[in-house]
Amino acid sequence: MSYENILVETLGEGARKTGLIRLNRPKALNALSDPLMDELGAALQAFDADPGIGCIVLTGNEKAFAAGADIPTLAQHDFMSAFQTQLISRNWEHILRIRKPVLGAVSGFCLGGGCELAMMCDVLYAADSAKFGQPEIKLGVIPGGGGTQRLPRWVGKSKAMDLLLTGRLMDAAEAERAGLVARVVPAAELMAVTLQAADTINGYAAPVAALIKQLTNQAFEVPLSEGVKIERGMFHAVFGTANQKEGMDAFLNKRPAQWPQP
C-alpha cells in the first residue's frame, strides 16, 4: 500500500523485524490530519498482522514528532459537524488495538494531539530536543484525544494540571523525571537507541511480549487486586506453552533460547 502522509519501512535482520512508521507532513510539523490518521491506522494494522514483525516504532522528524491536530481543519467545525463526523474519535485510537509493542521515538515538538498519540505508545524514548505539552487551552478548547485522562496517569494529577491549565511546554529532562518518557538521549542517537530496544524485544518470544503489554495496559483499567488476579492466571497459563519450556530449558542448560515461531 502506498501512503502520502507517512513513510513505512521494515528494518532488522533477525527472525523478527521492526516495522518503522514515520509521520511525514514536515511543512505542517506533522500535524495529525484525518488522512494521516487513516494511513497510520492502516500501517499499524498491517504490521500487527505480519508474523515477521515483532515490534513497531513510531516517530516523526527532528523538528516534530507531531505538533498537534490539524488546526485549519478543526477550525471549520461547529458542534454538530464535530459530533456527526466523530471528530478525532473516528480514527485516533487504532493504535490501542495493536497487540505488538509500539515504541515512540520523539524529537522536537510533541504537542496537543501529538502528545496524546505519543501517550498511546507503549514506551517513549525522547531526544534531548523534545518538547511535550497539551496547550489546547490557548486555542479555547480542551484536549479531545485523551489528554485530560492519560496525562494524569503518566505524570500525576498536579503535574498534569499544571501543563493542561497553563499550556506550558515540558522539556525532555522534565518529562523523564515525571515518568512520561523512559529515556532521554542525544538527538543524534534517538533512532539507534529506539531500534536497539526494538531489536531486543524482537529477540524474545512474541506471544510473551504481547501478553506483558496487554497486562501492563490493563493495570490502568482495573483495581490492583483484580489486576494481580488476572496476571496470576496468565502466569499459570504460560506454563502450558512451548515458550516457557524453551526459555527455562535454555536457562538451565546455559544456552541461547530458540523461541518457537508464533
Residues carrying an active site annotation: 69, 113, 116, 136
Cell of 148: 485530560
Cell of 46: 498491517
Q: How far apart are CA 234 and CA 218, in angstroms?
A: 13
State the residue for C-alpha cell 501478553.
211
Q: How far apart are CA 232 and CA 210, in angstroms?
A: 16
Q: How far apart are CA 113 and CA 69, in angstroms?
A: 5
Residue 77 vs residues 70, 83, 86, 142: alpha-carbon distances, Å:
12, 9, 11, 15
> CB neighbours (10 Å) of residue 202?
21
Q: How far apart are CA 185 and CA 193, in angstroms?
A: 8
The closest of 196, 246, 233, 165 to 55, measured between CA atoms, is: 196
Q: What is the CA 60 to chain-centroid distance, rounded?
A: 12
> CB neighbours (10 Å) of residue 240?
9
- Please give the span between the terminal C-alpha atoms of the chain, in angstroms, as a whole number: 25
Non-local (6+) Cβ contacts of 137 within 8 A are 164, 165, 166, 167
